[in-house]
Amino acid sequence: MSLDTTQLDHLDNYGYLMVEKVLDPETVLDPIIQEYHGVLESLASELHGQGVISSKYSDLPFGERVTQIYEESGGVYNAYFDFSLPQRGITSETPFWAGPAIFNTLTNESLLDVVESVVGSEIFSNPVQHVRIKVPENRAPRDENGHIKFGPTPWHQDQGVIAEEADETDMLTVWFPLLDAGVENGCLQVMPGTHKNGLLQHCPRDGAQGLEIPENILHRDGAVAMPMKRGDILLLKQRTAHSALPNTSNEVRWSFDLRYHVVGRPTGRPEFPGFVARSRNNPESELRDPITWRNSWITTRDRLARESDPVYNRWNSEHPACA
């Protein structure tokens, strides 16, 4: 599926584009969900064996099971599911998940056809990539100050969370839900046209994850919520401001965010392994083996476990806008 001129114009003018029915739910998304059932089983067995939870809750569906485990344990175990590594504190035992169903999605032909419409035929899979599993806020673990440990993603630009070396990389974010994402369970919202305003000041948030563009720089009027069905994808320019709504439902919000750009451009996270997902000019350079991909992350984890934490964040809270 390639994008037409009207779609490309919308992306260029507004900084975002929702494309329906790109990923087949049965052949692409369901295998991911099946893999994650195994990951959750391993996590439940580990926590139950440690006495952290009273049951493995094996009879519950995935969303209710992960919610119950997070609620009872008071912890958030996103690293177990993520197909990337944390920015600090990596050890040789730091968990992550880089399964074949995820790799097959990163290299999905229908997805790459859409990406090729934007970035061209030489496509690099950027290693700044994540799975987000957000449990209902009324059951979510909280810290000592009462803040939800993994709640709504604050307003930010994706360029703001990578190193300056990639500021000129024309990076495309591909966001999609594994289950339907609506306003109630925390779909994304975007601020149209903000990709034309350059990189805005981001401020570290106390008591919550991530960075945030303060409201005195980015007014919240004009935000557009983006409810999506499973199989739909949302494209975002690297400077399009976006955030996630709170999950006020009784269901999890479960999503992927991936990033792609032209081969050879800086990734903004040079310590992590990306790969050539498609190359019309040099097809033998494409990575086609999910085991090689997984091993690249294992090798990276083992190396970073022996080194000091790299510095990824360019922002600090002393900027006047962060007061």
Does the CA dihedral 181-185-186-189 come out positive or negative?
positive
Q: Which residues, including other chains, have CB under 8 Å from residue 132's CB and lie 6 or more apart? A: 78, 153, 244, 253, 254, 255, 256, 257
pLDDT at 210: 78
In contact, 78 and 43? CB cutoff 8 Å: no
* Residue 221 burial class via C-beta count within 10 angstroms: exposed 0-12, middle 13-18, buried 19 and up: exposed
- What is the C-alpha separation between 321 and 181, in angstroms, rounded? 32
pLDDT at 5: 98
Q: Which residues, including other chains, have CB under 8 Å from residue 12's CB and lie 6 or more apart? A: none
Beta sheet of 188-190, edge-to-edge order = 224-225, 188-190, 242-244
pLDDT at 206: 66
In contact, 226 and 257? CB cutoff 8 Å: no
Q: How far apart, in Å, are the Cα atoms of 236 and each of 22, 92, 162, 192, 239?
A: 15, 34, 15, 10, 8
What is this structure's pTM? 0.96
Q: What are the sequence ranges of the domains in the chain?
A: 5-308
- What is the C-alpha separation between 190 and 239, in angstroms, rounded? 11
pLDDT at 318: 87
Q: Classify domain 5-308 by CATH architecture.
A: Sandwich (2.60)
In contact, 237 and 11? CB cutoff 8 Å: yes
In contact, 62 and 37? CB cutoff 8 Å: yes
Going residue by residue through the chain (323 aa), what tens digit of pLDDT does each one get?
A: 899 999 999 999 999 999 999 999 999 999 999 999 999 999 999 999 999 999 999 999 999 999 999 999 999 999 999 999 998 999 999 999 999 999 999 999 999 999 999 999 999 999 999 999 999 999 999 988 888 888 889 999 999 999 999 999 999 999 999 999 999 999 999 999 999 999 999 998 765 467 999 999 999 999 999 999 999 999 999 999 999 999 999 999 999 999 999 999 999 999 999 999 999 999 999 999 999 999 999 999 999 999 999 888 889 888 998 97
User: Which of 276, 266, 271, 273 has its CA nearest to residue 307?
Assistant: 271
- What is the C-alpha separation between 106 and 259, in angstroms, rounded? 9
pLDDT at 81: 97
